[in-house]
Structure 1
Amino acid sequence: MALSVTTQARGGILLRRRPFLAPVSAKPRTLPRAAAEKKAAAAPVPDQSFDFVAQNAGFFRALPLWAGGLGVASLLLNRSLSGIAPVVDASSSQSRADVLGIVLSAVLLLTGLQWLALKPREIAAVDLDGPSVDYTDVGLKPNAALLREFGWARDAMFRTTRCKSLVLIYKGRNLFHYGAIRKGLKPGEAGPGEICTQARKGAMRDGQGNYLANLVLYPGRPEFTAFLPENTQGVMVQPVGSDGVLVAGTDTIRGFSRLDQAWLSTIADKLEVSLGEAALPQTGVGFAGAGAGGKGGAKKK
């Protein structure tokens, strides 16, 4: 109950007592606090120094060249203004220091020239071989709040990263598929493979996902090209609790940065809370469907 507001005079100053309001009971979160803190501690920390160097790569490549040229010019200027004979004398400490300085400046000049000659090749994006879809499970139409969460997750990934495909498989159902899809595949038929299953099991331990920066080099590539375009260049797999996975595909090799991985992890945590509050059927493809199929096969035997 709220206490009444009282006014007291103390030392000529009016003191007003504020009403005390009883704390409002907060709705319990789906994620345990310990698990949430563990995930936050294990989340990758962005390397700000790396971002600064990457954004100013041209300046840092030319820095040794400028330093070497400045060193040679300083030595020659010092030699001409000091009144020392231009002939190098091995018995003079000044001459030996000048020779050493010229050698070091020459090394810097050669290093700068080499760094300017070796420029990293820019990786071009590819046109994904598949149509673009905007699919959500038809059974979720009555749940407008959950559909808004899905739309937010789609916009959050597509507008801030190079994500071209976003797929959610949760409790045996392909709940949504946004962006590029494998040519000829019906939306809603995506299912998890071994990598997705291992990521889901890893969520029980550390909550970390998998990032396949160059999908062509991985033997598990067919697991993702079963529902993503054949020429998908990279894939991120992020567990959504212990019941599902969030798969993001890109059109560029190494198209996702560490910030993008942390962002996808945050989106997965938010979806986990929203999905935990919604009643979803357990049937369909995915983790629950695979488990049910295995039990049925054992009974037939």
Structure 2
Amino acid sequence: MTKSDPNRILRRLPLAVGGLGAVLLLINRLLTPELTESQARGDVVGVILSAVLILTGLIWQQVQPRSPDIVELIGEEGFVLAQDLPEAVKTELAWASHLLLTNTVTRSLIVYYQGKILLRRGILAAKAEVTPGPILKRVLETQKPIYLVALYVYPGRIEFDYLPENTQGVVCQPIGNQGVLILGANAPRSYTKQDEKWIAGIADKLAVTLQE
């Protein structure tokens, strides 16, 4: 989803002011019957300032915040649900995973609960088993989320071999005290604070459903 530029008006302001200044200088010159030396010097300064403003505006139009480097995750797209789950739980998991995949930068998703994988969806790695490493164990023990903003810089990334090998960012969100929602993104530093709140809310909803 393309986000609108909040600084769009600010970027266009020098262009508008410079253009307006140039037009006013031209009108003033046309309406002046006799041009004095001081006025001529003032016009030159005004033209230069207008040109600088217009040039600044044109440059600012080209300046955009750099987007995170997006990669194509390696793996096959899939949707795998544990077969022994009640239909209501399957529906809840399908709904939650769809929301996360379509409303956040998540491209690969795993629901790990009570030592079992309940769901794998999105771009899937060849390895289907989840073996909790130090990071996942810490989330389970502390019941606090961990966001690895750029996975490639963390030595502990090797434990996430059940995600696509070129996963760029990972969120491990606890599901109550018995599971973890594991999300993989295709760009580093791509989850916003709003995304993290959204993920936490969905994980809390899943915790209630899975405990019933």
TM-score range, shorter chain: 0.7 to 0.9
Q: TM-score, normalised by structure 1?
A: 0.57
Q: Secondary structure at the match of 1:178?
A: strand
Q: For residues 209-288 of structure 1, what are the structure 2 equivalents within 5 Å?
A: 209-224=145-160, 226-277=161-212
Cα displacement string for residues 52-110 of structure 1 (whole angstroms, at most 9, x for unaligned residues): 425x85x65444223222222223323443556253269xxxx76x6775565344223
Cα displacement string for residues 202-243 of structure 1 (whole angstroms, at most 9, x for unaligned residues): 54xxx5x3433433233332232x110111122222222233
Give the unaligned 5+ runs of structure 1. Answer: 1-50, 278-301
Classify 1:148/1:63 alpha carbon distance in 2 versus 1 (closer, same or farther; 3 Å).
Answer: same
Q: Secondary structure at the match of 2:97?
A: helix
Q: Which residue of 1 aligns with 2:103?
A: 160
1:165/1:228 contact within 8 Å kept:
yes
2:15/2:54 contact within 8 Å kept:
yes
Give the unaligned 5+ runs of structure 2. Answer: none
| CA distance in 2 between partners of 1:82 and 1:191 (Å) | 83
Q: TM-score, normalised by structure 2?
A: 0.77
- Superposed CA RMSD in Å reads 3.3
Q: For residues 67-216 of structure 1, what are the structure 2 equivalents within 5 Å?
A: 67-81=17-31, 83=33, 85-88=35-38, 104-119=49-64, 125-138=70-83, 140-141=84-85, 143-183=86-126, 185=127, 187=128, 189-200=129-140, 203=143, 209-216=145-152
**Aligned partner of 1:149: which letter?**
E
Classify 1:121/1:52 alpha carbon distance in 2 versus 1 (closer, same or farther; 3 Å).
Answer: closer
1:169/1:191 contact within 8 Å kept:
no
| CA distance in 1 between partners of 2:158 and 2:191 (Å) | 20
| CA distance in 2 between partners of 1:200 and 1:79 (Å) | 75
Specify which of 53, 59, 84 is matched with residue 5 of structure 2: 53
**Aligned partner of 2:81: which letter?**
T
Structure whose alpha-carbon radius of gyration is higher: 1
Classify 1:88/1:126 alpha carbon distance in 2 versus 1 (closer, same or farther; 3 Å).
Answer: same
2:110/2:181 contact within 8 Å kept:
yes
| CA distance in 2 between partners of 1:243 and 1:82 (Å) | 82
1:129/1:229 contact within 8 Å kept:
yes
Larger relative contact order, structure 1 or 2 (CA cutoff 8 Å, min sep 6): 2
Q: For residues 289-300 of structure 1, what are the structure 2 equivalents within 5 Å?
A: none
Q: Secondary structure at the match of 1:216?
A: helix
2:75/2:124 contact within 8 Å kept:
yes
| CA distance in 2 between partners of 1:202 and 1:60 (Å) | 45
| CA distance in 2 between partners of 1:84 and 1:218 (Å) | 73
Classify 1:230/1:89 alpha carbon distance in 2 versus 1 (closer, same or farther; 3 Å).
Answer: same
| CA distance in 1 between partners of 2:102 and 2:52 (Å) | 45
Classify 1:194/1:87 alpha carbon distance in 2 versus 1 (closer, same or farther; 3 Å).
Answer: farther
| Deviation, structure 1 residue 171 | 2.9
Classify 1:65/1:193 alpha carbon distance in 2 versus 1 (closer, same or farther; 3 Å).
Answer: farther
